[in-house]
Amino acid sequence: MPRGRGKGFRGKGWLMNAYILLIIAEEPCHGYKISEKLLDYGVDLPGLSNKGRIYRILSDLESNDLVEFDWDTTSSPPKKIYKITSLGEKYLEKIKKEMLDFKSNIDKFIDKMDELYG
């Protein structure tokens, strides 16, 4: 489904993509607000270069038709307000399923560790 830079959403940073898509699904918002909401998930992006990652991810999400934007011209400068598309909602459901499968594997690992080491 998604295609983008590098390995797409399977490569490094896939979790950040998932968080950003989830935040936009909760409420259409601009990049700076997304960076603030990431803190709710325990993701801190100090420094301008790290905050720039958000915009690169948003660009990839947009090029894969997972998000779209409208311009908010009530502020200066105007801001892009991102919102999730129906394809983005389907992709978010796929991510959830994959995370649940991964969580199951982690639970099995932890159970085995408890058996071995208490």
The model's pLDDT over 61-94, given as tens digits with 9 standing for 90+, comes to 999 999 999 999 998 999 999 999 999 999 999 9
Number of domains the chain contains: 1
DSSP 8-state secondary structure symbol assigned to residue 30: -
Q: What pLDDT score does 87 carry? A: 97
Please give, one letter per residue, the 3-state secondary structure of 40-103. HHCCCCCCHHHHHHHHHHHHHHHHCCCEEEEEECCCCCCEEEEEECHHHHHHHHHHHHHHHHHH
Judge whether 1 lies within some domain.
Answer: no
Q: 93: domain range?
A: 8-117
- Specify the CATH number for the domain of residue 42: 1.10.10.10
Judge whether 3 lies within some domain.
Answer: no
Q: What pLDDT score does 44 carry? A: 80
| pLDDT tens per residue across span 2-57 | 554 444 455 567 889 999 999 999 999 999 899 899 988 888 877 766 778 899 99
Judge whether 52 lies within some domain.
Answer: yes
